[in-house]
């Protein structure tokens, strides 16, 4: 089934990351919108789009629209998605789901009232390496997750002019507020320690307690170059762990025998480490960022198929964890309890 889609927000992220992957699916892009008319016109030319606007309301008025997609600002995500839902249109939004958890809840209420789907751009669930690690973690042999560790950095370039770090929290940190829940369990507590080197340059150690008794730490900050790998995940079970380095290298460490005392030691199926890297020299499109798989899950959900698509319900929970993190930043070392409502 071909879906008629309109898109709001034609900046670099949408133009380079989202729209090329969206266009791989069975859609007709019938309208685009941006307050920068030149950006909207450029995207329209590229995809043969007839309707170009600087006001999203023009796109909502087009006939037979199935989906409104967007990559704009947090407040715009709230306003545009609610307006679309009130017209009975499904929504795909890049994260975040508004500027606050209250914004996300308002979108959630509109989605429930309309009986429509809101997919959220937590694509890190879907990068090939992260997906493989998730499948390992959820396999019976891995057992109960006991610990999570992550690193997620970006450069100070983005934030030296925004030294309250709002953009960093809403557009970067929120990914891991979803990802820790996804890999482990609902978050029950957050504790934060912070080191600000200078305005625009900070590092956070964010400690999580989970409903299943696991513990976790994610180190996030604005003190590393974007030209180097800045992301790593480690999930531990009982004598097993899986690690994802830079979203493209996966290692599954199991429970091998100690090799030093065995002259006949070799690599043994079932116990020794499994490793994977993508073959970027192959013609196949490696979905290392995860956007294509995310859109596939979104359209499957619209077709009524079972998926683990991150929806507005996940967005609400992620925003609640993020707000606990922000409270922890204001109160370093204090444990902030969560009860998901």
**For residues 250-275, average pLDDT:** 93
Answer yes or no: is pLDDT of 114 > 90: yes
- Give yes or no: residues 98 and 135 share one domain: no
- Give yes or no: residues 186 and 328 share one domain: yes
Give me the percent of the chain exceeding a pLDDT of 90. 87
- Give yes or no: residues 146 and 234 share one domain: yes
Q: Quick check: is 68 in a domain? A: yes
pLDDT digits (tens, 9 = 90+) for 276-325: 999 888 867 778 899 999 999 999 999 999 999 999 999 999 999 999 99
**CATH label of the domain that carries residue 141:** 3.30.360.10
**For residues 22-47, average pLDDT:** 97
Q: Quick check: is 80 in a domain? A: yes
- Give yes or no: residues 98 and 32 share one domain: yes
- Give yes or no: residues 99 and 151 share one domain: no
pLDDT value for 297 = 97
Domain termination residue (choose one: 85, 103, 120): 120
196: containing domain: 125-286+319-337
Q: Quick check: is 300 in a domain? A: no
- Give yes or no: residues 167 and 262 share one domain: yes
Give me the percent of the chain exceeding a pLDDT of 70. 98
Answer yes or no: is pLDDT of 56 > 70: yes
What's the CA gap between 163 and 329, in Å, rounded?
14
| Minimum mean pLDDT range among 36-40, 175-179, 275-279 | 275-279
- Give yes or no: residues 274 and 206 share one domain: yes
Domain termination residue (choose one: 120, 138, 154): 120
The residue ranking higher by pLDDT, 160 or 324, is 324
- Give yes or no: residues 143 and 69 share one domain: no
Cα–Cα distance list, 190 to 143, 205, 336 (Å):
24, 10, 5
Q: Quick check: is 301 in a domain? A: no
Token output for 129: 């390496």
Q: Quick check: is 53 in a domain? A: yes
The band of 35, judged by pLDDT with boundaries at 50, 70 and 90, is: very high
Q: Quick check: is 219 in a domain? A: yes
pLDDT digits (tens, 9 = 90+) for 206-239: 999 999 999 999 999 999 988 888 899 999 999 9
In the chain, the largest separation of any two C-alpha atoms, in whole Å, equals 75
Answer yes or no: is pLDDT of 341 > 60: no
Answer yes or no: is pLDDT of 199 > 70: yes
CA dihedral 57, 59, 63, 65 (to 10 degrees): -110
pTM, two decimal places: 0.94
Check: CB of residue 240 under 8 Å from CB of residue 272.
no
- Give yes or no: residues 109 and 235 share one domain: no
- Give yes or no: residues 136 and 113 share one domain: no
Check: CB of residue 157 under 8 Å from CB of residue 103.
no
For 177, how many CA atoms within 13 A lie in the half-sphere containing its CB?
28
Domain termination residue (choose one: 69, 100, 120): 120
What's the CA gap between 242 and 244, in Å, rounded?
7
- Give yes or no: residues 106 and 211 share one domain: no
Single out the residue of 105, 71, 104, 64 nearest to residue 87, CA to CA: 64
Burial-class residue 278 by CB neighbours within 10 Å (0-12, 13-18, 19+). middle
Check: CB of residue 216 under 8 Å from CB of residue 179.
no
- Give yes or no: residues 205 and 76 share one domain: no
Number of domains, the chain:
2
Residues 6+ apart with CB under 8 A from 252: 133, 136, 240, 241, 242, 273, 274, 275
- Number of neighbours of residue 48 by Cβ within 10 angstroms: 8
Check: CB of residue 282 under 8 Å from CB of residue 92.
no
Q: Quick check: is 295 in a domain? A: no
pLDDT value for 3 = 97
């Amino acid at each position: 089934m071909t879906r008629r889609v309109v898109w709001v927000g034609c900046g670099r992220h949408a133009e380079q990351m989202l729209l090329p992957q969206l266009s791989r699916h069975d859609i007709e892009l019938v309208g685009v919108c941006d307050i920068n008319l030149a950006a909207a016109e450029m995207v329209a030319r590229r995809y043969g789009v007839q309707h170009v606007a600087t006001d999203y309301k023009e796109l909502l008025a087009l006939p037979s629209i199935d989906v409104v997609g967007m990559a704009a600002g947090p407040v715009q995500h709230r306003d545009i998605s609610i307006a679309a839902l009130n017209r009975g249109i499904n929504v795909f939004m890049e994260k975040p789901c508004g500027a606050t958890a209250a914004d996300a809840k308002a979108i959630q209420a509109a989605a429930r009232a309309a009986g429509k789907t809101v997919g959220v751009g937590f694509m890190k669930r879907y990068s090939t390496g992260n997906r493989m690690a998730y499948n390992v973690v959820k396999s019976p042999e891995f057992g109960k997750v006991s610990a999570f560790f992550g690193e997620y950095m970006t450069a100070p370039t983005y934030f030296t002019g925004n030294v309250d770090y709002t953009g960093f929290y809403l557009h970067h940190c929120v990914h891991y507020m979803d990802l820790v829940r996804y890999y482990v369990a609902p978050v029950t507590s957050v504790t934060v320690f912070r080191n600000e080197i200078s305005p625009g340059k900070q590092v956070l150690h964010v400690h999580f307690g989970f409903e299943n008794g696991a513990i976790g730490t994610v180190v996030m900050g604005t003190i590393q170059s974007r030209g180097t790998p800045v992301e790593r995940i480690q999930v531990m079970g009982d004598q097993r762990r899986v690690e994802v380095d830079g979203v493209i290298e996966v290692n599954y460490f199991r429970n091998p025998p100690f090799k030093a005392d065995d002259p006949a030691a070799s690599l043994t199926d079932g116990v020794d480490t499994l490793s994977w890297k993508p073959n970027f020299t192959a013609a196949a499109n490696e979905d290392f960022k995860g956007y294509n798989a995310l859109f596939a899950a979104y359209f499957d959900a619209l077709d009524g198929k079972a998926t683990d698509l991150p929806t507005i319900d996940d967005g609400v929970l992620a925003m609640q964890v993020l707000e606990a993190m922000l409270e922890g930043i204001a109160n370093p070392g204090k444990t902030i309890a969560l009860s998901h409502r």
